[in-house]
Amino acid sequence: MALKIWLNDKLVDEAEAKVSVFDHGLLYGDGVFEGIRVYDGRIFELEAHVRRLFDSARAIRLQVPMGKEELIRAIETTVAANRVHDGYIRLVVTRGVGTLGLNPFTCKNAGLIIIADKIQLYPEELYEKGMRVISATTVRNHPLALPPQIKSLNYLNNILAKMEALDVDVPEAIMYNHEGYVAEATGDNVFIVRNRIIYAPPVEAGSLEGITRAVVIRLARQEGLEVVEKNLTRYDLYVCDELFLTGTAAEVIGIVEIDGRAIGDGRPGPITRLLRDRFYSYARRKEK
């Protein structure tokens, strides 16, 4: 079945879902987006994702072409039209059609795209056995150049780090900021466990304020686990008891090796497994 894509103000057939070559989202990566999961027909943390989209748009002076409630209805309509039961939503707002030049004020109307489809996940084997990662040499964008809270269409910084990982046949890379502190992975947030305390880099270090990250922190605290946000170094990752990533697609996935160094006993640790189980239950509403 061909997909139905929400384009600007209505659903169109997939073949008709086209944007102008003069859209500044294409020309300059000028726009914002959200990736959202659908579990058992329910859109996960939808209001939080929409709120973050509006925050990102406001930060770059981009006017979302509809209000929050109207946008939520458009997302729900797109999911229903494509009969997505378990899948993924890509929500995009572009600056819109303008001239050849950086001036964003030549773009009179922002563009809106909503795609609801299947999602390509990591293989189940990686969740059972754990993932290998490397440290990227690509430095995370300076927070004063591009605040990490803005989920923008320009992902080149992350893509360059992703290439480093793929070149050595691992799926992910850890990125560090200009001061050498852990920022995030190329598409996920980073956590470590040391002496049963969970540590996460603060947003100010260059990490996205992840929706899944916030849920996992909340679930961890419900389990009586201490969660501390603090700057982490590469050394902290090398000597931690557990290392795991969180994200919309990844959910919660354990890391068992970084830069050739085993994490813990070389298997996903007990807190990682606990939080993955709790997240799985929460996402599918098997627990409150």
Q: Bridge-partner residues for 38, per DSSP? A: 43, 87
Distance CA 197, CA 67 (A): 41
Tokens of 69: 């409630």
User: Amino acid identity of 140?
Assistant: R
What's the gap between Cα 88 and its chain centre?
12
Q: Which of 151, 230, 286, 288 is catalytic?
A: 151
Helix axes 68-81, 46-59, angle to 10 degrees: 130
Within 13 A of 87's CA, how many CA atoms are on the CB side?
A: 15
| CA-closest candidate to residue 280, choices 120, 127, 115 | 127
Q: Bridge-partner residues for 250, per DSSP? A: none
Indicate the DSSP class of residue 233. -
**Tokens 């270090």, located at residue:** 205
| CA-closest candidate to residue 3, choices 78, 112, 93, 90 | 78
Q: Contact at 8 Å (CB) between 112 and 66?
A: yes
The CA-atom distances, in angstroms, between 64 and each of 50, 109, 149, 266 are 11, 9, 17, 46
18 annotated active-site: no
User: In sequence order, what are the residues at sequence separation of 6 or more whose Cβ sits closer than 8 angstroms to the Cβ of residue 185?
Assistant: 133, 172, 173, 174, 175, 245, 247
User: Amino acid identity of 286?
Assistant: K
Catalytic residue IDs: 151
